[in-house]
């Protein structure tokens, strides 16, 4: 294996830097790359490029930077804007993984004669005797597991993707490796915001980078009674409680939207729970089609707990029936299905059944 080449995505952070160290130690010929995606984002500004390049130099591997700003605008920014324009709550990291890390980066890897691509994600790929194919699995670090945001990984690519951090049980182990190799990023904080919205103010970003602007409308309850006013549907997401500006004896939460009437619909917390949902944009990882009903564990958001459910295919969509009603199922988010720690298949774009 000694001369296998791998293209590693480098963010200038501790995870990707330690990934480079581990891959090199395992005998891979490692090439680091940083993709230029959006000017001013936290993951691809000038400091990021220089930091990644200097880290690669210290580790003793090559580093290249490639400009993919046009692709990022087309596939990630435009999707982000369109989602909010249609009253959905997107997860841009998922689209970035689909089109950038496992799209254009894989294409670049092939151009460079690489056998694999790698990232610092906390997830695992391995050949499964049970399923007779390569599978995507949870990492050993349950708190940091990122298998949820990798739903769009093409199944034909799974065996060519390496996640060097898969078997580490804590982030502190990663930082310790970095300290032992005198990497300056050993104690660098994790970035938790959307990379192209580093200040966390996505509303200001939408107003500055799209046609979405403040537009006053009514906040109503499920009966249509007006309870207050809002200044734009994009200011809200399903399940939100704070910022409604409504005085009410019982706490109110956002239940949904009526785009045609420019209304935010609110109600009591018990109204947030749903037993069923229908989801689209299917990416099957273990089978070509879902031929019968299947029992799975489901995550409906990155931070949500696993929930037991039964799923079955209905034409091009999937019907999900949960064992217990689930809170704040949100259009635009992804539903990820697991058998044990193996990712079975992924869908997104909910159609909520009330």
Query: For each of the chain's 354 residues, which pLDDT tens digit applies?
Result: 446 999 999 988 999 999 999 999 999 999 999 999 987 666 666 678 888 999 999 999 999 999 999 999 999 999 999 999 999 999 999 999 999 999 999 999 999 999 999 999 999 999 999 989 999 999 999 889 999 999 888 889 999 999 999 999 999 999 999 999 999 999 988 877 788 998 889 999 999 999 999 999 999 999 999 999 999 999 999 999 999 999 999 999 999 999 999 999 999 999 999 999 998 887 878 777 788 999 999 999 988 999 999 999 888 889 999 999 999 999 999 999 999 899 986 545 555 443
Strand pairing class (217-221; 263-267): parallel
Tell me which residue of 291, 285, 329, 290 sits closest to 307, measured CA to CA. 329
User: Which pair of structure tokens corresponds to residue 100?
Assistant: 């950038």
Listing from the earlier edge strand, what are the strands of the sheet with 263-267?
226-230, 217-221, 263-267, 253-258
Using left for φ > 0, alpha for ψ between -120 and 50, and beta otherwise, residue 80 falls in: alpha
Half-sphere exposure of 171 toward its Cβ, with a 13 Å CA cutoff? 16
pLDDT score recorded for residue 349: 54
What distance in Å separates the CA atoms of residue 285 and residue 342, rounded to the nearest whole number?
A: 10
Tell me which residue of 338, 347, 348, 346 sits closest to 137, measured CA to CA. 338
Based on the number of CB atoms within 10 Å of its own CB, is 320 exposed (0-12), middle (13-18) or buried (19 or more)?
Answer: buried
Domains of the chain, CATH where assigned = 5-187 (3.40.50.620), 214-267 (2.30.30.280), 273-352 (2.40.30.10)
Query: Known catalytic residues?
Result: 96, 195
User: Which pair of structure tokens corresponds to residue 47?
Assistant: 């400091």
């Amino acid at each position: 294996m000694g001369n296998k080449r791998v293209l590693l995505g480098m963010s200038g952070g501790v995870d990707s830097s330690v990934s480079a160290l581990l891959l090199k130690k395992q005998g891979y010929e490692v090439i680091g790359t940083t993709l230029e995606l959006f000017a001013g984002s936290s993951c691809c500004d000038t400091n990021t490029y220089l930091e990644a390049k200097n880290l690669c130099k210290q580790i003793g591997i090559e580093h290249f930077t490639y400009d993919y700003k046009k692709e990022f605008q087309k596939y990630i920014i435009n999707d982000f804007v369109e989602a909010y324009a249609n009253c959905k709550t997107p997860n841009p990291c998922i689209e970035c993984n689909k089109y950038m890390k496992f799209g254009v980066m894989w294409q670049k890897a092939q151009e460079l004669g690489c056998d694999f691509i790698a990232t610092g994600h906390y997830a695992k790929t391995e050949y499964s005797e049970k399923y007779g194919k390569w599978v995507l699995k949870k990492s050993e670090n349950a708190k940091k597991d990122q298998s949820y945001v990798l739903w769009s990984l093409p199944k034909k690519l799974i065996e060519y993707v390496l996640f060097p951090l898969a078997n580490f049980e804590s982030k502190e182990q990663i930082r310790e490796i970095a300290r032992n190799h005198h990497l300056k990023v050993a104690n660098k904080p994790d970035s938790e915001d959307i990379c192209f919205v580093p200040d966390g103010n996505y509303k200001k970003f939408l107003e500055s980078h799209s046609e979405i602007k403040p537009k006053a409308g009514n906040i109503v309850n499920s009966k249509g009674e007006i309870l207050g006013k809002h200044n734009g549907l994009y200011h809200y997401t399903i399940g939100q409680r704070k910022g409604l500006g409504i005085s009410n004896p019982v706490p109110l939460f956002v239940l949904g939207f009526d785009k045609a009437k420019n209304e935010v619909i609110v109600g009591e917390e018990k109204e947030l729970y749903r037993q069923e949902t229908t989801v689209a944009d299917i990416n099957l990882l273990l089978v070509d089609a879902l031929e019968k009903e299947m029992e799975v564990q489901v995550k409906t958001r990155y931070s949500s707990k696993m929930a037991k459910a039964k799923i079955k295919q209905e034409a091009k969509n999937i019907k999900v029936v949960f064992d217990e009603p689930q809170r704040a199922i949100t259009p635009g988010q992804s539903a990820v299905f697991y058998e044990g720690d193996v990712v079975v298949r992924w869908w997104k774009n909910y159609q909520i059944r009330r």
